Amino acid sequence: MAEQSSSEQRSREHSSEQTSREPRVVVVGGGYGGATVAKELDDVADVTLVEPRDAFVHAVGALRAVVDPDWESRVFLPYDRLLRRGRVVQATAQSVTPHEVRFAAAAGAPPHATGTDWGSRSIPADYLVLATGTAYPFPAKFIETDTWVAQARLVRLREALAACDRVLLVGAGPVGLELAGELLSAFPRLGITIVDQAHDVLTTGDYLPELRSSVRAQLEERGVVFELGAPLGYLPPRDVGLFEPFTVETTAGARVDAQLWFRCYGNRPLTDYLDGPLARARRWSGEVSVTPRLNVEGFETVFAVGDITDVPETKRAASAQAHAGVVAANIRALIEGRDPTATYTPAPELVILPLGTDGGASQLLDEEGVRRVLGPEETRRLKGADLYSGRYAELLGVQG
């Protein structure tokens, strides 16, 4: 509580200081949520976006880039044209308190990273937005911060896939199933085994049985073998995505021979940088506790959006962007001296799950608000064909 009051006092001091200059908004993390909030506030504040990568990563399209090199330009989108007035600082936030972001610069920070005190490696903030998302194993997400390094890894993976005839996917959630669909679109004769300890596919969301059976039937028709109901006894003794024959067994005794494997589970919130009083808002899961206005619990000028929040919903890019809209409205209101009244209500569970360019299934709400399962043709039309790449090229100001 002491920290909270001193934080409020600091916040009041900052607002009187602010009257003489433009308010400084610092957004930490430039994914779907952070890039959206930064762009929405660019006209009303001095915005700094802190992001270690040299390009926005459109993770929703990442699995198609595994098999199709033409997709790399739709997955890695440069930040240069995101902000008209503000700036993107290529750096990793290492310690974040309510009014300061201390960072480590990424190697080879580019010339567009201007406007920051590189000497002290710190950026002051009147308003702070935390948007650092989650880490997920390659190839759904990348640990590489340089686009050319991530792309080189994709090239090596494609070479390995071309030489491979059996792949193991561990995890029958949306990522494992979508990856299987992409792999089979490009390599129709590839043998794929999907192992999961759960007794069915897609067990982590509130999905209708027809959705599960449709996805499973489409993949089985293409030759995918499901080993469900028992975990692997041990993980393959190889790094993911590297070609080398191996054999593993599930605890139920099913044997899987393959030459490549992928870990398709393990979304981990990236919030280790929260420091001082802000660290108390981090939950055991790594998520950050937020209020309906998406303030970090206990802090009027600190907000969080996207996968790191503890909002009870499936983690989605669309939700991160909806959070961004709420936070941008609230910060704009505070800057203009109004009450911040925008709140976020989680949307009902939905999924659009492509299986390559022409397969898949979706669960959406119809006009009466009833949940409906749609088949491959509608799924291709809604998402499978372009994986929303046009929408995010537009957000980043990249011409198609």
Q: How far is the CB of 234 from ligand FAD (least distance, A)?
A: 25
Using the minimum distance from each CB to ligand FAD, give the nearer residue, 105 or 208. 105
Interaction site with ligand FAD (CB under 6 A): 28-34, 50-53, 59-60, 62-63, 92-93, 131-134, 136, 140-141, 175, 270, 273, 306-307, 315-318, 320
- Whether the bond between 139 and the residue before it is cis, its omega within 30 degrees of 0, is yes
Using the minimum distance from each CB to ligand FAD, give the nearer residue, 28 or 396. 28
Q: How far is the CB of 111 from ligand FAD (least distance, A)?
A: 19
Q: How far is the CB of 273 from ligand FAD (least distance, A)?
A: 5
Report yes or no: 54 and 90 within 8 Å, Cβ to Cβ.
yes
Q: How far is the CB of 176 from ligand FAD (least distance, A)?
A: 10
Using the minimum distance from each CB to ligand FAD, give the nearer residue, 228 or 387. 387
- List CB contacts of 323: < 8 A, sequence separation 6 or more: 33, 294, 304, 305, 306, 309, 311, 344
Q: How far is the CB of 109 from ligand FAD (least distance, A)?
A: 13
Using the minimum distance from each CB to ligand FAD, give the nearer residue, 254 or 364. 364
Question: Of the candidates 211, 145, 141, which has an alpha carbon nearest to the alpha carbon of residue 172?
Answer: 211
Q: Which residues pair with 228 in a beta bridge?
A: 196
Report yes or no: 101 and 34 within 8 Å, Cβ to Cβ.
no
Other CB atoms within 10 A of residue 16 CB: 8
- List CB contacts of 16: < 8 A, sequence separation 6 or more: none
Q: How far is the CB of 87 from ligand FAD (least distance, A)?
A: 14
Residue whose C-beta lies closest to ligand FAD: 31
Q: How far apart are alpha carbons 102 and 90 in whole angstroms?
A: 13
Q: How far apart are alpha carbons 50 and 42 in whole angstroms?
A: 14
Using the minimum distance from each CB to ligand FAD, give the nearer residue, 317 or 396. 317
Using the minimum distance from each CB to ligand FAD, give the nearer residue, 132 or 389. 132
Which SS3 state, helix, strand or coil, does residue 294 take?
Answer: coil
Using the minimum distance from each CB to ligand FAD, give the nearer residue, 173 or 248. 173
Q: How far is the CB of 30 from ligand FAD (least distance, A)?
A: 5
Other CB atoms within 10 A of residue 3 CB: 15
